[in-house]
Chain A
Amino acid sequence: MTPVLLEVKGVTLQYKTPRHLVTATYQVDFTVHQSDRYVILGPSGCGKSTLLKAVGGFMAPVEGSIRIHGREVEAPGPDRMMVFQEFEQLMPWKNVFQNVLFPMKVTHKFSRAEAVERANAAIEKVQLTQFRDIYPHMLSGGMKMRVAIARAMALEPDILLMDEPFAALDALTRRAMQQELLSLWDQLHFTVLFVTHSIEEAILIGSRILVLSPHPGRVRAELDAARFNFANIDQSEFGAMTKRIHRLLFGDDTSRAIGREKASA
């Protein structure tokens, strides 16, 4: 039995805008095991990014608890490295190598020599060795994302938190990045908590999929998707899974569901 890594129990999240108090998620439970590729899927505005931020320690739940290895999450920490959707997560004043090295340097998790070695290895894994000394503004969106992933993985966190990391990429690059992430996982078997709003991406990337209901996010289903990959993307079982998730998100009648969405928005 794989040990439980992350345990989220009855988490309700609320944040304040200048005019409103918004409830993002309501009493969400889920558990992530070691080496899971755990995907949180939901329509926009279901609080999935907020949920990830809470796991990251950037906001505290109003009720419920988030535990990692049994310890309560209280503040951001390098045991939960985040990869954001935006490209500006890289430090423009550091080149690729320095960016990857930075978290290891400030956390003192590794010795200097080991950190350098790990940074180089991580950069090689994401195939950016020839861009090692380039500054982020010279890189394409996909390359920046690969640096961000390399930076997060070099630190060897307990869990990798990815907030729609491929959403801002073009479709071709996104497909290449999905493949790359899966092949990295095949080598390293890291644990990743992945937020997306794409059903296809969820089925491809995820081994487990948590489906959230719209506004506020509540658990709708947890599905096993470990058997799906790029090899069977065109098979009927994949299509059936897509339809099933679609039904979970929008109900049987899509047009009525969209109408309801609009009314509630």
Chain B
Amino acid sequence: MSIAERHTPASEVERPEFERQPVDSGAIGDVERPLSFSERLFRSEVVQRLNILVALILFWQLYSYWLDDSLLFPSFTETVRMFWSDIKSGMLINRTVTSLETLAMGYACGLAVAAVLTTFAVISNTGTRILSTLTAMFNPLPAIALLPMALIWFGLGTPSLVFVIIHSVLWAVSLNTLSGFRSVPETLRMSGRNVGLKGARYVALILIPAAFPSILAGLKIGWAFAWRTLVAAELVFGVSSRSGGIGWYIFEARNDLDTPRVFSGLLTVILIGLLVESVIFRAIEARTVNLWGMQR
């Protein structure tokens, strides 16, 4: 098609200019309206996750019913019955509390050491090199592999457990925090320095909130590493000084071939995982990174 053909002369098609008032948009209702209860319910994450859980439980129950062998694969109802009776007798709660105490101690110590290391890494280049070398070395090393040595160094008991938990938390958290600090946009850094922020205040007021999505991801990974390391460690050497943890509960039940109790132990591990993830971390996310639009 030539250029001349494309330019239709104005006389052939009549296109008058016009101006007018925009049409009344009142017919569509409010331009912005709150969602109704059912619309909100359907969009809610809690409801959606509950649906998934219900589907999984249903599948579990049907499969065990079909298999019909409670030694190999007890049903959901059997597991829950055992779970409930052990909670009532207080044994499961005792075991869980013992585990969680050790976990909290190890997690807190791990975070403290990670905070010191990353602050050092932010302040100096040498610190960055030290941290990235250490992380590269120790992050791939499974905490459980250190357990035999830890038992020799710290004896059979809580200190060994805390040691392996620190190891599993420390590197994941430092790695994420450091990479979060590194990815803070230059403009944001400059607008912080512009108002005269330096040193610890600069880290606290600019770097930490700006890197919070990564830090939070690190905390989550660290928590999961710590929890699984702890349960695994308890399974390996069982009871510590006075009372065993949840791992020991599972180990004991397996020795007695009490499979419903093993399942009840596993269920506890999963439930606590779900609870921490979907209640504690979810609440932190909703109040921080989601509110700030840094993560959706």
Contacts and interface: CB of A to CB of B under 8 A. Distances in A.
Given A135-B291, A135-B293, A107 B196 contact: yes
Contact of B209 (A58, A93, A137, A155): A93
Q: Which of B188, B195, B209, B294 has the most CB of A within 10 A?
A: B195
Interface string A65-99: 00000000001111011101010110111000000
B193 A86 contact: no
Interface residues of B, number: 21
A89 B293 CA distance: 15
Given A93-B212, A138-B293, A78 B195 contact: yes
Contacts of B292: 92-93, 135, 137
A137 B293 contact: yes
Given A76-B194, A78-B196, A91 B293 contact: no
A102 interface: yes
B136 interface: no
B188 A91 contact: yes
Interface string A43-66: 000000000000010100000000
Given A88-B187, A89-B188, A92-B293, A102 B195 contact: yes
A22 to B, nearest CB: 17
Interface in B140-188: 185, 187-188
A136 B194 contact: no
Contacts of A76: 190, 193-194, 196
Interface residues of A, number: 25
B interface, by DSSP: helix, strand, loop or mixed?
A: helix
A88 B188 contact: yes
Contact of A89 (B187, B212, B288): B187
A50 B293 CA distance: 31
B195 A86 contact: no
Nearest to B291: A135
A56 B194 contact: yes
A10 interface: no
Interface in A101-116: 102-103, 106-107
A91 B210 contact: yes
Contacts, number: 66
Interface in B242-294: 288, 291-294
Interface in A176-207: none
Given A76-B194, A106-B196, A84 B187 contact: yes
Interface string A118-153: 000000000000000001111000000000000000
Given A82-B190, A82-B191, A88-B187, A93 B196 contact: no
Nearest to B197: A106
Contacts of B193: 58, 76
A92 B294 contact: yes
B205 interface: yes
B201 interface: yes
Interface in B199-238: 201, 205-206, 209-210, 212
Contacts of B210: 91-93
Contacts of B212: 93
Nearest to B191: A89
Contact of B194 (A81, A86, A88, A138): A81
Contacts of B205: 106
A101 B190 CA distance: 17
Contacts of B196: 75-78, 106-107
A137 B289 CA distance: 11
B195 A84 contact: no
Contacts of B188: 88-89, 91
Nearest to B186: A86
Nearest to A136: B293
Interface of B: 185, 187-188, 190-191, 193-197, 201, 205-206, 209-210, 212, 288, 291-294
Given A76-B193, A106-B205, A107-B195, 14 more contacts: A56-B194, A76-B194, A77-B196, A78-B194, A78-B196, A82-B194, A84-B190, A89-B188, A91-B206, A93-B209, A93-B212, A102-B195, A103-B194, A136-B293
Q: Ordered nearest first, which 8 A-B pairs have the shortest CB separation? A: A137-B293, A103-B195, A93-B209, A86-B187, A92-B292, A76-B193, A89-B191, A93-B292
12 contacts: A75-B196, A78-B195, A84-B191, A86-B187, A89-B190, A92-B210, A103-B194, A106-B195, A106-B201, A107-B195, A136-B293, A137-B293
